Amino acid sequence: MKNKNGFMKILEAFTAILLITLILLIILNRNAQERDFSQLIYDSQYSILKQIQFNNSMRSEILEIAIPEEGVEHESLPTDVKNKIASEAPASLTCEGKLCSLADDCLISGAEEDKNIYVQTAVISADSDTYSPRKLKLFCWQK
Protein backbone atom coordinates (compact mmCIF):
# COMPACT_ATOMS: atom_id res chain seq x y z
CA MET A 1 0.00 0.00 0.00
CA LYS A 2 2.88 2.39 0.72
CA ASN A 3 4.27 1.89 -2.79
CA LYS A 4 1.00 3.11 -4.33
CA ASN A 5 1.05 6.30 -2.23
CA GLY A 6 4.61 7.07 -3.31
CA PHE A 7 3.75 6.45 -6.94
CA MET A 8 0.67 8.74 -6.69
CA LYS A 9 2.74 11.57 -5.17
CA ILE A 10 5.30 11.29 -7.96
CA LEU A 11 2.49 11.30 -10.56
CA GLU A 12 0.88 14.37 -8.94
CA ALA A 13 4.19 16.25 -8.86
CA PHE A 14 4.89 15.38 -12.48
CA THR A 15 1.40 16.55 -13.52
CA ALA A 16 1.82 19.85 -11.63
CA ILE A 17 5.19 20.49 -13.29
CA LEU A 18 3.72 19.65 -16.68
CA LEU A 19 0.79 22.08 -16.21
CA ILE A 20 3.06 24.92 -15.07
CA THR A 21 5.36 24.33 -18.03
CA LEU A 22 2.45 24.38 -20.49
CA ILE A 23 1.10 27.64 -19.06
CA LEU A 24 4.54 29.28 -19.30
CA LEU A 25 4.97 28.10 -22.89
CA ILE A 26 1.60 29.53 -23.90
CA ILE A 27 2.45 32.91 -22.34
CA LEU A 28 5.89 33.01 -23.96
CA ASN A 29 4.45 32.03 -27.34
CA ARG A 30 1.96 34.93 -27.25
CA ASN A 31 4.76 37.41 -26.50
CA ALA A 32 6.87 35.94 -29.31
CA GLN A 33 4.01 36.35 -31.79
CA GLU A 34 3.61 40.03 -30.83
CA ARG A 35 7.34 40.61 -31.27
CA ASP A 36 7.31 38.82 -34.63
CA PHE A 37 4.43 41.03 -35.83
CA SER A 38 6.23 44.17 -34.68
CA GLN A 39 9.42 43.05 -36.40
CA LEU A 40 7.53 42.47 -39.66
CA ILE A 41 6.11 45.99 -39.50
CA TYR A 42 9.52 47.54 -38.76
CA ASP A 43 11.11 45.55 -41.59
CA SER A 44 8.41 46.74 -43.98
CA GLN A 45 8.86 50.37 -42.89
CA TYR A 46 12.63 50.08 -43.23
CA SER A 47 12.25 48.74 -46.76
CA ILE A 48 9.91 51.55 -47.80
CA LEU A 49 12.19 54.24 -46.39
CA LYS A 50 15.28 52.76 -48.03
CA GLN A 51 13.54 52.66 -51.41
CA ILE A 52 12.65 56.34 -51.03
CA GLN A 53 16.18 57.24 -49.83
CA PHE A 54 17.89 55.54 -52.77
CA ASN A 55 15.51 56.78 -55.47
CA ASN A 56 17.14 59.88 -56.96
CA SER A 57 13.93 61.52 -58.18
CA MET A 58 12.04 61.03 -54.91
CA ARG A 59 15.04 62.23 -52.91
CA SER A 60 15.31 65.36 -55.08
CA GLU A 61 11.57 66.07 -54.70
CA ILE A 62 11.88 65.79 -50.92
CA LEU A 63 14.93 68.06 -50.81
CA GLU A 64 13.12 70.76 -52.82
CA ILE A 65 10.32 71.13 -50.24
CA ALA A 66 10.56 74.06 -47.85
CA ILE A 67 9.91 72.66 -44.38
CA PRO A 68 7.77 74.77 -42.04
CA GLU A 69 8.32 74.59 -38.28
CA GLU A 70 5.50 72.04 -37.79
CA GLY A 71 6.81 69.82 -40.59
CA VAL A 72 5.20 68.60 -43.80
CA GLU A 73 2.21 66.32 -43.28
CA HIS A 74 1.51 63.25 -45.40
CA GLU A 75 -1.01 65.03 -47.65
CA SER A 76 1.63 67.57 -48.70
CA LEU A 77 4.37 65.06 -49.52
CA PRO A 78 5.30 64.57 -53.20
CA THR A 79 2.90 62.28 -55.05
CA ASP A 80 5.63 59.74 -55.86
CA VAL A 81 6.51 59.41 -52.17
CA LYS A 82 2.87 59.01 -51.11
CA ASN A 83 2.32 56.42 -53.85
CA LYS A 84 5.43 54.48 -52.79
CA ILE A 85 4.23 54.40 -49.16
CA ALA A 86 0.72 53.33 -50.19
CA SER A 87 1.89 50.63 -52.62
CA GLU A 88 4.56 49.09 -50.38
CA ALA A 89 2.73 49.19 -47.04
CA PRO A 90 1.12 45.92 -45.92
CA ALA A 91 -2.64 45.80 -46.57
CA SER A 92 -3.42 45.45 -42.85
CA LEU A 93 -1.73 48.76 -41.99
CA THR A 94 -2.39 52.43 -42.47
CA CYS A 95 0.91 54.22 -43.08
CA GLU A 96 1.62 57.94 -43.30
CA GLY A 97 4.83 59.86 -43.73
CA LYS A 98 5.90 63.18 -42.29
CA LEU A 99 8.85 65.31 -43.31
CA CYS A 100 10.59 67.40 -40.62
CA SER A 101 13.82 69.16 -39.85
CA LEU A 102 16.43 67.10 -38.03
CA ALA A 103 15.92 68.96 -34.74
CA ASP A 104 12.11 68.57 -34.78
CA ASP A 105 10.32 65.86 -32.76
CA CYS A 106 8.16 65.16 -35.81
CA LEU A 107 4.94 63.92 -34.23
CA ILE A 108 1.95 62.78 -36.25
CA SER A 109 -1.48 64.29 -35.80
CA GLY A 110 -3.73 61.96 -37.83
CA ALA A 111 -3.13 58.63 -36.08
CA GLU A 112 -5.71 56.91 -33.95
CA GLU A 113 -4.74 57.21 -30.31
CA ASP A 114 -6.02 53.81 -29.20
CA LYS A 115 -3.78 51.89 -31.63
CA ASN A 116 -0.15 50.82 -31.44
CA ILE A 117 1.83 53.14 -33.70
CA TYR A 118 5.06 51.86 -35.25
CA VAL A 119 7.61 54.49 -36.31
CA GLN A 120 10.78 54.40 -38.39
CA THR A 121 12.92 57.33 -39.48
CA ALA A 122 15.20 57.93 -42.45
CA VAL A 123 17.45 60.93 -43.03
CA ILE A 124 17.32 62.48 -46.48
CA SER A 125 20.32 64.77 -46.64
CA ALA A 126 21.59 65.47 -50.13
CA ASP A 127 21.54 64.84 -53.83
CA SER A 128 24.04 65.95 -56.47
CA ASP A 129 22.86 69.59 -56.30
CA THR A 130 21.42 70.17 -52.82
CA TYR A 131 22.48 69.65 -49.23
CA SER A 132 19.48 70.16 -46.98
CA PRO A 133 19.25 67.47 -44.29
CA ARG A 134 15.80 66.49 -43.06
CA LYS A 135 14.11 63.40 -41.74
CA LEU A 136 11.26 61.41 -43.17
CA LYS A 137 9.28 59.56 -40.52
CA LEU A 138 6.96 56.73 -41.41
CA PHE A 139 4.10 56.05 -39.00
CA CYS A 140 2.08 52.83 -39.33
CA TRP A 141 -0.81 51.39 -37.35
CA GLN A 142 -3.29 48.57 -37.84
CA LYS A 143 -6.52 49.35 -39.67
pLDDT digits (tens, 9 = 90+) for 4-23: 778 888 889 999 999 999 99
pLDDT digits (tens, 9 = 90+) for 19-61: 999 998 888 777 666 667 888 899 999 999 999 999 999 999 9
As a whole number, the mean pLDDT across the chain is: 87
pLDDT (0 to 100) of residue 55: 93
pLDDT (0 to 100) of residue 35: 66
pLDDT digits (tens, 9 = 90+) for 57-68: 999 999 999 998
pTM: 0.73
Query: CB–CB of 43/89 below 8 Å?
Result: no
Residue ranges of domains in the chain? 2-142
